[in-house]
Structure 1
Amino acid sequence: MASQSRLVVGLVGGSHLVNHAYFMLLPPVFGPLRADLGLTDAQLGVALGAVGVVVTALQLPFGSLSDSRGRTPVLAISLAFGALGALLTATAQSYAWLLAASVVTGVGIAGHHPAHYPLIGAATTPDTRGRAYSVHGFTGALGFAVPPAVVAAAATLGLDWRLAIGAIAVVGAVYGGACLLAFDRYVARDITHPTSDADRAGRSPGRDRSLLDRARRELRSVVASPPIVALTVLWFLTSAAGWGIKQYTATLLSTGYGFPDATANVAVSAMLTVGAVVIFGGGYLTDRYAAGPVLVGGYAALVAVAGLLSLGTVPVVGAVALVLVLSATVDGSRPARAALADALSTDDAAGKNFGLLTIGISGGAAVAPPVLSTLVARFGVTAAFQAIAALGVVAIALTGVVLSASGTALVGRIQPGD
């Protein structure tokens, strides 16, 4: 990648790490919040849910703003509100205060995908985009691990949880300022600001219609694209499968294969680490061949691995080997999904499209818990993995629908010079 492309990917990757850290602020401090503020588990669940509701609700508005006004204004809102939300969380003195902090944090988190993906798409070429998206995915995975690690380190040192969350807020704010300054000084405007049809015609996009009319028109334009709608459902399915893998793999190893709980949890940690690293392999394969083969291969592996584990008859060594690659079957295809979405998006619709796709991610994470927990309660944990395998089958079929509807072939491609 050219130097400016590397700079954009690095800056966006750092922003992804920071935003995902904001997403994980509350779970590591549930215990202190119960003790300090006298909160119940239900109240903490509402506070955590408020973040997700705000993130989902603002995807299309932020996507529209990203497409009409620029990627960096949305990035600035995201980084500023995220840091402010973290600071409010660290200083919360009441439940109402914590709820307000959750809403502010949600506003910050909501802007990162509608800004990040279009920035990467504009800064890279088709033969480097998969690897760029793999960096984005890897830094996001690191971000989820930051708050638990920082809170644990603070507790080990005898420091208050508020200092830990406050430190994340300060570091995030400093990074946000440096990131935005770098974009302003070193990144070309044609990367940070899209060119719409209206701009090319020399007129303001909103001059001849009301804000409400524009919002309706933009929503219709997004949902009227069959490939994007189908891809949104695909992101929903993979989000649901990923949630099930993370939540129930330790239980499967414990109840289905007789692993001690501690060993099962270590195996899950190793599985997630392998998945994060395999993201880079998925990016490389996407660039070398095409998104289609990577997606189909990943989902086929998901079907095979989840299906075999659900049998409960795999030898212990084999079960460990399968678990280590289980998360990678989904994580490795993430760069391909993003690259395919970018290929299906025009420059002035990428923000809205990725906003809609993020709603698919949020929807999968919201639907999977009640559905899979019901299956586990009635039929045992192996039923969850049978369901995950079934999601993989549907994902393969839907990938074919997306590629067919977009006129993209499933066959691979060789990049020039290979």
Structure 2
Amino acid sequence: MNDSSASVVGARKDAEVISVVGLAHATSHFFQLVLPPLFPWLMQDFSLSFTAAGMLMTVFFVVSGVGQAIAGFFVDRFGARPALLAGLGMLAAAAVVLGLAQDYPTLLLAAAIAGSGNAVFHPADYTLLNRLVSAKRLGHAFSAHGLTGTLGWAAAPVLMVGVAGPFGWRAAAFVAAGIAVLALVVLAQHKGIGPGPAHGAGDPAADAAGPPAGAFAFLVSRNVWMCFVFFLMWTFAFSALQNFSPAVLSNMYGLSLSWAATAVTAYMLGNAVGTVGGGFLVNGASPDRAIAFGLFAAALIAVLLATGQAPAAGVLPLMALMGLGAGLAGPSRDMLVRRSAVSGAGAASFGRIYGFVYSGLDTGLALSPILFGYFMDAGRFPEVMVGVAVFQALAILAAWRVGQGAAERGRFGTKEQ
């Protein structure tokens, strides 16, 4: 096989991996928003308060966060593909349990099962992408991965409400189960999506010096902990926007709730565009600098909105620009983990490191509503946007610290402790 043919085969293999992993990721994000759109029906049928309904999502993300750190060890031991198959199966089972639920404890059980299924995706997805996708396409692989997750989020509310309206919430739950089963069948048919050698010779993450001293050796790495902090800060900001920006913007700028809710859609669309563009930044700049550029722009817009002085007609475009900035940083955040945190433990630890670091996302999603809910209850709406900017700035600092650690190791040839 000549170089040209080998290149074509390599590109096709990369495309297969990126597509199948993207489908799995879209499914996991879809299930993160299966329950919230059904709250009006669930609250009526089960006489639930807002607190009780919200507890379903708390259970989901707490189980997912703890499970994600554990799932990384499973991925490293048994492989990413079996983990994804198990995760998709659990999502399907959770939707069936939801559709058959007759009481609140069963709803909690469905949320816990869904959280357990959701836990496997980040460690499994990133293990497959890092080990099977060519280094030159990794940036675009991370970009596609983030984009499919956003599409999964966007599809869930539309489909769940669209089915629950005419056919009932139980029918919507069974439709969700069918989506998970479909993704499971597609993944099962792609038997080539499995263990493989780590690509990217010359990349610090792939060239780490030998295996870790033990299963938990990565926990002594400062960079691993700083990456966890980065994702925690990132998600505190994002969760505040996702959950509270419609009410904040409605109160601060006199927008109707329906129009203010469109601001979240504008943010998501901007984020999707930025994620695609961010794939081109990965190979052209250090990840921490790309993150700083995107999140600094997003933080400035959050501060502007917090002043209440932006024109009402400009709120949606500003939210779209904020999403664009965060999206540009997205692929670089994934490369940050690969180049910096993983470099201290080796490619054999992709699963456990990605699992631990990305559990910061679930931790943020579980805790952020509590913090920002306090400001919402107190009517301190500008402080919510200020908080978004503060957490984005803290994420920049965490990314900078990780980048500094990587630079020091490269300059002195030392292994991080």
TM-score bucket of the superposed structures, by smaller chain: 0.7 to 0.9
Give the corresponding residue for 1:415: none
**Which region of structure 1 is more displaced relative to structure 2, 237-246 or 393-402?**
393-402
Cα pair 2:274 2:326 within 8 Å, conserved: no
- The verdict on how the C-alpha distance between 1:280 and 1:57 changes in structure 2, with shifts beyond 3 A counting, is same
Task: State how far apart, in whole Å, the 1-side matches of 2:316 and 2:174 are.
Answer: 39
- C-alpha RMSD of the superposition: 2.7
Give the corresponding residue for 1:414: none
Instruction: Tell me which of 271, 278, 291 is aligned to 2:274.
Output: 278
Tell me the amino acid that sits aligned with residue 31 of structure 2: Y
- The verdict on how the C-alpha distance between 1:93 and 1:333 changes in structure 2, with shifts beyond 3 A counting, is same
- Which digits, 9 at most, give the CA deviation of each residue in 1:372-398, with x for residues without a partner? 232344572111222222223222222
Query: Is it true that 1:171 corresponds to 2:179 in the alignment?
Result: yes
1:374-389 paired onto structure 2 within 5 Å: 374-378=374-378, 380-389=380-389
Give the corresponding residue for 2:303: 307
1:93 is paired with a residue whose SS is coil
Give the corresponding residue for 1:366: 366
1:349 is paired with a residue whose SS is helix
Query: Is it true that 1:224 corresponds to 2:220 in the alignment?
Result: yes
1:134-153 paired onto structure 2 within 5 Å: 134-153=143-162
Query: Displacement, 1:191?
Result: 5.4
Cα pair 1:17 1:139 within 8 Å, conserved: yes
2:298 is paired with a residue whose SS is helix
Aligned residues: 389
Structure 2-normalised TM-score?
A: 0.85
Query: Displacement, 1:318?
Result: 4.3
- The verdict on how the C-alpha distance between 1:245 and 1:33 changes in structure 2, with shifts beyond 3 A counting, is closer
- The verdict on how the C-alpha distance between 1:73 and 1:104 changes in structure 2, with shifts beyond 3 A counting, is same
Cα pair 1:286 1:336 within 8 Å, conserved: yes
1:261-410 paired onto structure 2 within 5 Å: 261-344=257-340, 345=342, 346-378=346-378, 380-407=380-407
Instruction: Tell me which of 110, 115, 138 is aligned to 1:106.
Output: 115
Instruction: Tell me which of 129, 136, 141 is aligned to 1:127.
Output: 136
- Which digits, 9 at most, give the CA deviation of each residue in 1:131-190, with x for residues without a partner? 11111111111212333222222245x2122122112212311320221220x2x34641
2:136 is paired with a residue whose SS is coil
1:19-168 paired onto structure 2 within 5 Å: 19-156=28-165, 158-168=166-176
Tell me the amino acid that sits aligned with residue 240 of structure 1: F
Q: Which aligned runs of 4 or more in structure 1 are off by greater than 6 angstroms? A: none
- The verdict on how the C-alpha distance between 1:397 and 1:43 changes in structure 2, with shifts beyond 3 A counting, is closer
Task: State how far apart, in whole Å, the 2-side matches of 1:302 and 1:30 are.
Answer: 31
1:194-273 paired onto structure 2 within 5 Å: 217-219=214-216, 221-273=217-269
Task: State how far apart, in whole Å, the 2-side matches of 1:406 and 1:28 are.
Answer: 42
Query: Displacement, 1:317?
Result: 4.3
Task: State how far apart, in whole Å, the 1-side matches of 2:257 and 2:53 are.
Answer: 26
Task: State how far apart, in whole Å, the 1-side matches of 2:299 and 2:49 are.
Answer: 39
Cα pair 2:34 2:160 within 8 Å, conserved: no
2:310 is paired with a residue whose SS is coil
- The verdict on how the C-alpha distance between 1:265 and 1:189 changes in structure 2, with shifts beyond 3 A counting, is closer
Cα pair 1:119 1:191 within 8 Å, conserved: no
Tell me the amino acid that sits aligned with residue 47 of structure 1: L
Task: State how far apart, in whole Å, the 1-side matches of 2:86 and 2:353 are.
Answer: 19
Task: State how far apart, in whole Å, the 2-side matches of 1:103 and 1:374 are.
Answer: 26
Please, which runs of 5 or more residues in structure 1 have no aligned partner?
A: 206-213, 411-418
Please, which runs of 5 or more residues in structure 2 have no aligned partner?
A: 1-9, 199-205, 411-417
Cα pair 1:114 1:354 within 8 Å, conserved: yes
